[in-house]
């Protein structure tokens, strides 16, 4: 452990700070009356209607354009993540983080100056491209710099910084809510973490894995020695492992994306899709995006709902620290399974409180409101030490070097698409299902816990280059890989044979015509 690697991992984790601030600030800004009056007057009118005016409290924020304002960032993050995988492969991790930070910075400035909805949406799209690049690159950067025995702790810093960003956004919203320009301040301050990320990248090294991947082994040796706090000779075994993985990457005839979808990598592909999907379908962003709207619907009022949002954010930060200090002892799988069933029980309890305690006026009694907040905090804690950090961590550990950038990009794109779905349709789902809306996620959590228990191998303490062996030894994936390896070998053999058969044939006839010696006619086969 060296100060240099600590600084580098701090900067890498700032990609999570950028992401988290936006999650924390978006829903709170939507709850601000001045923001509603400026851009969504119909919503402002609905939120100020008396509760006996025939309006369901669950439906007053059900506006597709408000949902689009929140969710479009994540739709834009999908091409951002794809772009990040390309810049990662060709230019490295540092330039990717710098460019992502610059996009986020530009989006924050545009939104804070917005005078109509189109400027808000374009600003959110810029933010989305930046977030997509940062989130694709951040966990990758951290996992490649950290020592193997501490990789989990360092990588969970990404989730910790997401929670710090969320809390920062929630606090800023609470402090600025009464100002006429409060929403502009909340959206504009997003430029600060982006600027911190860009400036921090000047101080940190490129990862050894990226340098070797792009043919700079001498630089990689020097960086590896510096971050490990030793001399060049001592890091040769680790460098050789990285170089072997890079040689395998260069030897493959396919690019990273086609290779990722080969049958032999089916276990990694399934987990790369499933874990980010589960990360969203545990229901976390229904709370992080729309807790102010939820608690306002329960009768708290906008200001008190924003304060509740801050309390939730503080619990999120505190319980994430549990994951930071236990991920390398208890492991990834333990927390994922535990969190699934903890959050399942919390979702059922939330449904029970709202369904049985809400009065005819759409309000919860004070004691029931406190009870609901406690249950929500139990739910948040489960995500904070479970599906929040562990899903990102495991996806960053699953892939060999030649598919790692593509794999983390795919995981990010799946996560962002699912986040877009939640952000766009949650308010409508809340309007339709009312008190029973949380049962949707409860069903998912039950499935997630069982799936993880049965199909996810434990990756704690395993070097990234050795994770593939875990799947080969797994009770289910081992059988799958044995079959897929055989199928891939057969396919490669057929491809080689077809290539040879399709190669052009050149016939040379010796002087003397067709009756010359048979040896005078020879066929030269040129390899394709």
Element housing 525 (H / E)? strand 522-525
Region 444-464: mean pLDDT is: 93
Rounded to an integer, what distance in angstroms lies between the CA atom of residue 217 and that of residue 210? 10
Highest average pLDDT, of 14-28, 279-293, 445-459, 469-483, comes from: 445-459
Distances in Å between the alpha carbon of 495 and those of 289, 313, 481, 501? Answer: 50, 55, 20, 10
Residue 161 pLDDT > 90, yes or no?
Answer: yes
- In the prediction, which pLDDT does 497 show? 65
Neighbours of 253 (CB within 10 A): 8
Q: Give tens-digit pLDDT for 302-316.
A: 778 888 889 999 999
| Residue tagged 């050149």 (tokens) | 506
Q: What is the chain's alpha carbon radius of gyration, rounded to the nearest angstrom?
A: 27
- In the prediction, which pLDDT does 527 show? 39
Residue 32 pLDDT > 80, yes or no?
Answer: yes
Structure tokens at 491: 């396919």
- In the prediction, which pLDDT does 524 show? 41
- 30-44, 250-264, 302-316, 424-438: which range is least confident on average? 250-264
Residue 155 pLDDT > 90, yes or no?
Answer: no
Buried b / exposed e along 40-70 (16+ C-beta atoms within 10 A) = beebbebbeeeeeeeeebbbbbbbeebbbbb
> Distance between alpha carbon 478 and the CA centroid of its chain, in Å?
27
Q: Give tens-digit pLDDT for 72-109.
A: 999 999 999 889 988 988 899 999 999 999 999 999 99
- 38-42, 60-64, 493-497, 500-504: which range is least confident on average? 500-504
Q: Are 153 and 391 in contact (CB under 8 A)?
A: no
Nearest CA among 63, 162, 111, 154 for reference residue 415: 162
Percent of the chain with pLDDT over 90: 44
3-state secondary structure of 522: strand
> Distance between alpha carbon 19 and the CA centroid of its chain, in Å?
9
Rounded to an integer, what distance in angstroms lies between the CA atom of residue 365 and that of residue 512? 108
- In the prediction, which pLDDT does 226 show? 87
Q: Are 95 and 197 in contact (CB under 8 A)?
A: no
Q: Where does the pLDDT of residue 500 fall: very low under 50, low under 70, confident under 90, or very high at 90 and above?
A: low
User: Which residue ranges make up each domain of the chain?
Assistant: 3-473
Q: Where does the pLDDT of residue 113 fall: very low under 50, low under 70, confident under 90, or very high at 90 and above?
A: very high
Q: Are 202 and 54 in contact (CB under 8 A)?
A: no
DSSP classification of residue 207: P
Helix axes 64-91, 93-112, angle to 10 degrees: 150
DSSP classification of residue 362: S
Q: Give tens-digit pLDDT for 35-53.
A: 999 998 888 887 777 655 5
Rounded to an integer, what distance in angstroms lies between the CA atom of residue 142 and that of residue 157? 9
Class level of CATH domain 3-473 = mainly alpha
Taking all residues of the chain, what is their mean pLDDT, rounded to a whole number? 86
Percent of the chain with pLDDT over 70: 89
If DSSP states are collapsed to H, E and C, what string results for 243-298? Answer: HHHHHHHHHCCCCHHHHHCCHHHHHHHHHHHHHHHHHHHCCHHHHHHHHHHHHHHC
- In the prediction, which pLDDT does 229 show? 82
Q: Where does the pLDDT of residue 499 fall: very low under 50, low under 70, confident under 90, or very high at 90 and above?
A: low
Residue 515 pLDDT > 60, yes or no?
Answer: no
Alpha carbons within 13 angstroms on the beta-carbon side of residue 283 total: 31
Region 474-478: mean pLDDT is: 94
The DSSP secondary structure of 304-317, one letter per residue, reads: HHHHHHHHHHHHHH
Nearest CA among 381, 386, 382, 282 for reference residue 331: 386
Q: Give tens-digit pLDDT for 291-304.
A: 877 787 676 677 78
Length of the chain: 528
- In the prediction, which pLDDT does 508 show? 45
Q: Where does the pLDDT of residue 330 fall: very low under 50, low under 70, confident under 90, or very high at 90 and above?
A: very high
Nearest CA among 398, 16, 401, 466 for reference residue 208: 401
- In the prediction, which pLDDT does 351 show? 93
């Amino acid at each position: 452990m060296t100060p240099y690697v600590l600084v580098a991992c701090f900067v890498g984790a700032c990609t999570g700070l950028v992401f988290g601030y936006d999650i924390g600030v978006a829903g709170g800004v939507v709850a601000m009356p001045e923001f509603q009056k400026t851009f969504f007057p119909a919503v402002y009118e609905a939120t100020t209607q008396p509760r006996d005016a025939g309006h369901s409290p669950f439906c007053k924020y059900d506006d597709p354009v408000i949902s689009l304002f929140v969710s479009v960032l994540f739709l834009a993050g999908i091409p951002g993540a794809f772009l990040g995988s390309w810049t990662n492969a060709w230019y490295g991790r540092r330039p990717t983080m710098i460019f992502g930070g610059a996009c986020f910075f530009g989006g924050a400035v545009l939104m804070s100056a917005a005078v109509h909805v189109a400027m808000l949406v374009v600003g959110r799209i810029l933010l989305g491209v930046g977030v997509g690049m940062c989130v694709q690159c951040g966990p990758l950067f951290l996992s490649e710099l950290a020592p193997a025995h501490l990789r989990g702790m360092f990588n969970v810093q990404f989730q910790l910084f997401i929670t710090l960003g969320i809390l920062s956004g929630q606090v800023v919203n609470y402090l600025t809510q009464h100002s006429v320009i409060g929403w502009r301040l909340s959206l504009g301050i997003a430029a600060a973490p982006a600027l911190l990320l860009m400036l921090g990248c000047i101080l940190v090294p490129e990862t050894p894995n990226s340098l070797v991947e792009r043919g700079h082994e001498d630089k990689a040796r020097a960086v590896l020695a510096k971050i490990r706090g030793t001399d060049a000779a001592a890091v040769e075994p680790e460098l050789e492992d990285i170089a072997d993985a890079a040689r395998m990457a260069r030897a493959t005839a396919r690019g990273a994306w086609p290779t990722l979808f080969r049958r032999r990598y089916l276990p990694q592909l399934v987990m790369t899709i499933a874990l980010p999907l589960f990360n969203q379908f545990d229901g976390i962003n229904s709370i992080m995006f729309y807790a102010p709207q939820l608690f306002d619907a329960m009768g708290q009022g906008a200001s008190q709902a924003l304060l509740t949002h801050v309390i939730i954010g503080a619990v999120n930060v505190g319980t994430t620290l549990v994951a930071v200090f236990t991920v390398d002892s208890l492991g990834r799988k333990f927390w994922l399974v535990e969190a699934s069933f903890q959050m399942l029980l919390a979702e059922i309890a939330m449904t029970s409180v709202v369904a049985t305690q809400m009065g005819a006026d759409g309000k919860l009694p004070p004691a029931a409101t406190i009870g609901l907040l406690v249950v929500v905090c139990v739910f948040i804690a489960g995500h904070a030490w479970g599906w929040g950090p562990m899903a990102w961590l495991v996806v960053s550990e699953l892939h060999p070097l030649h598919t790692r950038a593509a794999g983390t990009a795919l995981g990010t794109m799946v996560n962002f698409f699912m986040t877009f779905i939640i952000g766009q349709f949650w308010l409508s789902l809340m309007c339709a299902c009312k008190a029973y809306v949380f049962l949707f996620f409860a069903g998912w959590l039950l499935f997630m816990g069982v799936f993880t228990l049965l199909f996810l191998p434990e990756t704690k303490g395993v070097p990234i280059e050795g994770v593939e062996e875990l799947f080969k030894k797994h009770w289910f994936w081992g059988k799958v890989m044995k079959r897929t390896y055989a199928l891939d070998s057969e396919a490669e053999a057929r491809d080689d044979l077809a290539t040879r058969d399709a190669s052009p044939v050149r016939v040379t006839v010796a002087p003397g015509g067709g009756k010359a010696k048979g040896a005078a006619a020879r066929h030269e086969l040129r390899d394709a």
